[in-house]
């Protein structure tokens, strides 16, 4: 499902015009991104959590040059679904 399809579905079920729904969805995504950039987690009860994970430093190999490189510690965004959400997806 794309963002446009989500906006259409919300607009259809709530009766709110698509422009307002699109603005709301865009603002939601912007707030989530800004929060993660600032190191804050976003918790949505019954849905899940947007968190920042830290990947530790590791050694990797460049096969074409036959060399090893060090990949430094870095942070990545992640989503952890809530138990209720996971059970719904699993069909339990």
pLDDT at 19: 96
- How many domains does the chain fold into? 1
pLDDT at 9: 96
Domain CATH code at residue 72: 4.10.520.10
pLDDT at 83: 94
Which residues does 35 contact at the CB level (< 8 Å), separation at least 6?
Answer: 41, 42, 50
Q: Which domain holds residue 40?
A: 3-90
- Give every residue of the chain whose pLDDT is below 50, as ranges: none
CB hemisphere CA count around 63 (13 angstroms) = 0
């Amino acid at each position: 499902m794309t963002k446009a399809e989500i906006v259409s579905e919300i607009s259809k079920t709530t009766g709110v015009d698509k422009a307002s729904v699109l603005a709301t969805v865009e603002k939601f995504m912007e707030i989530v991104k800004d929060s993660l950039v600032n190191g804050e987690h976003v918790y949505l009860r019954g849905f899940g959590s947007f968190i920042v994970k830290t990947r530790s430093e590791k050694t990797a190999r460049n096969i074409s040059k036959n060399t090893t490189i060090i990949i430094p510690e870095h942070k990545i965004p992640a989503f952890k679904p809530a138990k209720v959400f996971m059970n719904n997806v699993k069909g339990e």
